Structure 1
């Protein structure tokens, strides 16, 4: 007789399913409003329904999916007001981080932002949306981490997670990738020169542009983002294969 896996094994399996489904949402493989069943996911991931159900309930608590009465599950539709409120909170938090950076000694400020300066101002620019989106998240996290306030960083990490799907959508456009490099360079230049007010204005404008783009999201654009991301990943796989 087949014995069920121990509790630790079940939890680990549910965690893997959770990450897989969440990544599918972030990568636009599952779009807002799209319906699916536990059986479909179980077959795709080659697991039983139990870890799938546990993972989906966790995702439901976090606001990514919702259960439909006798109709399976559905990716939650975008709540634009919710995302705009998160952007407002990001502006408050990151502006306070910039104030604290500008109040540091010049040497400490340069040390805190040295890695970001090398990446955004001195290294060869990236061109693919997904790695740029991850680098963008790292840039904003670095501003907050430099304050050494653990609660700031914890809150910012939660905000970044909740906004990830919106921010990655922003980087499916080449013009946004170029603008991000230019804006990050300007923000860094102002902070490193300890010109606080210009740095605050630049940062607020930078985040506000992403916030304004939220209302322009359409289902067509989500489908296009899915195609763009799939093409990018296909090109990366071809490159990896050619290098083997």
Structure 2
């Protein structure tokens, strides 16, 4: 019999995938007991999974009413992306002034500045490395307070950003854009690096918004069709 912690992990992964695929849409309500019945689990691991998803911003708990899938406020997400861009551009300024710049960026360069044939292809892995790339820039800048704030923002936008790599072409685009940003940094061309970085973040923001709205619209159409049949 799997341990409770293992069951909670299984419940979390199953529910997160359902949320990512919009099997639950914003506004949907559900109870722990119903989810437990669907997963064939007791309420304890289900509750642990739900609390974890609540911390990540997917869902909220309503007193005496169960759980609800959170609405997606794109105005807030766009503001968070803007703040993220400001922090990363500030990191660029610190990096180009660092005497040991090449050393600070060597791990990122080894991962992203590689031939196309050597690139990773698993979307979930590239997505995680993409997130790490931006946090690593802040860490490499040496300003740990900026890095902390940036990490908090990254966690808040992950709920929409997770969908970017549901499109295969985003893998090659990400490698190419990260490589150009790193090359500009290594040449200590801070202006060019910031231009590339701002465009990269803007395109990423618009991409995840479009994907999210498209998937949400399709999910609502399926629900409407199911109700009429």
Q: What TM-score does the superposition give when structure 2 sets the normalisation length?
A: 0.77
Aligned partners of 2:23, 2:181: CA distance in 1, in Å? Answer: 35
CA RMSD of superposed structures (Å): 3.2
Q: How far has the Cα of 1:58 moved from its partner? A: 6.3
Q: Report if aligned partners of 1:26, 1:165 keep a CA contact under 8 Å in 2.
A: no
Out of 113, 125, 150, the residue aligned to residue 121 of structure 1 is 113
The equivalent position to 1:103 in structure 2, one of 97, 110, 114, is 97
Match of 1:202 among 189, 192, 196: 196
State the distance in 1 between where 2:107 and 2:67 align.
Answer: 42
| Structure 2 CA distance for aligned equivalents of residues 36 and 146 of structure 1 | 43
Shift of 1:126: 1.8
Structure 1 position 40 matched with structure 2 position 34: yes
Kept in 2: contact 1:95–1:203 (CA 8 A): yes
CA separation in 1, counterparts of 2:198 and 2:61?
37
What is the CA–CA distance in structure 2 between the aligned matches of 1:26 and 1:109, rounded to whole Å?
A: 41
The equivalent position to 1:92 in structure 2, one of 86, 98, 106, is 86
Is the Cα contact below 8 Å between 1:32 and 1:78 reproduced in 2?
A: no
Query: Closer, same or farther in 2 for the Cα pair 1:85/1:127, shift >3 Å?
Result: same
- Tell whether the 8 Å contact from 1:17 to 1:45 is kept in structure 2 after alignment: no
Matched, 1:135 2:129: yes
Pick aligned residue for 2:163 from 165, 169, 193: 169
Q: Is the 8 A contact 1:15 1:55 kept in 2?
A: yes
- Where does residue 180 of structure 1 map in the other structure? 174
* CA 211–84 in structure 1, closer or farther in 2 if over 3 Å, else same: same
Q: TM-score, normalised by structure 1?
A: 0.73
Cα distance between partner residues in 2 of 1:61 and 1:74: 13
- Native 8 Å contact 1:38 1:49 kept in 2: yes
Q: CA deviation at 1:112?
A: 1.0
1:72 to 58, 62, 66: 66
Cross-structure match for 1:189: 183
Extract unaligned runs of 5+ from structure 2.
220-229
Residue deviations 1:166-197 (CA, integer Å, cap 9, x gap)? 22211111222221111101100000110010
Q: Deviation at 1:61?
A: 6.1
SS of residue matched to 1:104: coil
Count of residues in correspondence between the two structures: 214
SS state of the match for residue 171, structure 1? helix
Equivalent position of 2:225 in the other structure: none
Q: CA deviation at 1:110?
A: 0.9
Q: Tell me if the contact between 2:181 and 2:193 (Cα under 8 Å) persists in the aligned partners.
A: yes
